Amino acid sequence: MPEAYIVDAVRAPTGRKKGSLAHMHPADLAAHPISALVERTGIDPNAVEDVVWGCCDTIGGQSGDIGRTAWLVAGMPEHVPGVTIDRQCGSSQQALHFAAQGVMSGTQDLVVAGGSQAMNRIPISSAMIVGTQFGFENPFIGAKGWDARYGTEDVNQIKSAEMIANKWNISREEMERFSLASHQRAQAATENGWFASEIAPLEGLDRDETIRPTTTLEGLAALNPVNEGGVITAGVASQNCDGAAALLVASEQAVKDHGLKPRARIHHMSVRADNPIWMLTGPIPATKYALQKAGMSIDDIDVFECNEAFASVPLAWMQELGVPHEKVNLYGGGIALGHPIGATGARLMTTLLNVLERTGGRYGLQTMCEGGGQANVTIVERL
């Protein structure tokens, strides 16, 4: 089977709630890493065959196939198409998978993959909320087959995060220590310049503004839980923010024809799912499945990126699979860097490539929990 290579990856800095990127049109935000990617790689944009883009809540400025719109807003050739993918939080990781699959099938040679989310302008779950305001059905409750199978209880990620903490006996203090580490690691990566090569400055912002370097355990302990009597607080949850990232995926022939120097090879791609009410447990069976399919073990992986939707998610995943925290999210995660849903998968891979290169690791694994109980897993080999 033909190989698929990641030539380069670039992202916008994450903009906090009501922050520096809050005023941007979603298409301008999405176009930014595309422009930066083309400039960095020196690729002729006329040679790109498709743009596969992740984005959720595709209403307003994110509607109308933003994958196509972003390419045009970036000033790129009109003959290049684009498509928008919604696999919830894993949308842009799935976009990378589809791009790589197009290359590995032999039907494409150069594909841009990525994703974006303008969460200040279009808050999380806007499509669902606006739909119900117009009298449309709830996507989960009311369908006879759904109600018969899962009942009429609310499908709620905070509830899922609480359930995970209870099942895996993860205390609030343990989650707060994990949260503190996320901010400390992200701040250290910023101060050491480790993010500089992956961030394309935007609107005068050249670093992630979601990181809170003054975070303390005392401050986290003082926060009220989201649900009375629960253990999930805002301090152990990912931040809503604005973000975008893009990657160039190429075939071996395209690498030769365009004189490209790839950074990594796609070693494995898969996606699995778990109970949709639990929702956030998917990375556990998905990682087990991916390692089995790839003929690998946890010890074969040098570094991991597991999205920090809530601290309980990667903590349960690490506990279940025996992954040491010393190998996970070395530059921090969604708790410190934010979780711009449609962009996070591409952002994680962009960071994973940098971590592999700085540490000299060979294999990196990325996974994340996704709506519907799903989880993508990507294993890359540094070149």
Pick from 168, 265, 190, 183: nearest CA to 216:
183
Residue 189 in any domain: the answer is no
In a domain, 360, yes or no: no
| Per-residue pLDDT, 266 | 98
Residue type, 85: I
Number of domains in the chain: 1
Residue 174: Cβ within 10 Å count: 17
- Which amino acid is located at 277 in the chain? I
In a domain, 224, yes or no: no
Residue 341's pLDDT is 97
pTM over the 0.85 mark: yes
Per-residue H/E/C for 80-138: CCEEEECECECHHHHHHHHHHHHHHCCCCCEEEEEEEEECCCCCCCHHHHHHHHCCCCC
Contact yes or no for 197/228 (Cβ under 8 A): no
- In the prediction, which pLDDT does 136 show? 77
* Residue 266 belongs to some domain of the structure: no
Rounded CA gap, 158 and 369, in Å?
13
What separation in angstroms does the CA of 365 have from each of 209, 212, 295, 336? 26, 26, 14, 20
What pLDDT does residue 154 have? 84
- Asked whether residue 58 is domain-assigned, the answer is yes
CATH of the domain at 79: 3.40.47.10
Please identify every residue annotated as catalytic.
89, 339, 369
| Alpha carbon distance 32, 202 (integer Å) | 8
Residue 219 in any domain: the answer is: no
pLDDT of residue 108: 98
The CA distance from 383 to 242, in Å, is: 31
Assigned domain for 268 exists: no
Flag whether 119 is in a domain: yes
**CB-CB contact of 283 with 375 (8 Å):** yes
Domain of residue 54 covers 4-124+240-257
Residue 135 gets the label, from left (phi > 0), alpha (psi -120 to 50) or beta, of left
Instruction: Report mean pLDDT in 10-residue bins for the chain, 383 residues.
Output: 96 97 98 98 98 96 97 98 97 98 98 98 85 77 91 91 98 98 98 98 97 97 95 97 98 98 98 97 98 98 98 98 98 98 98 98 98 98 98
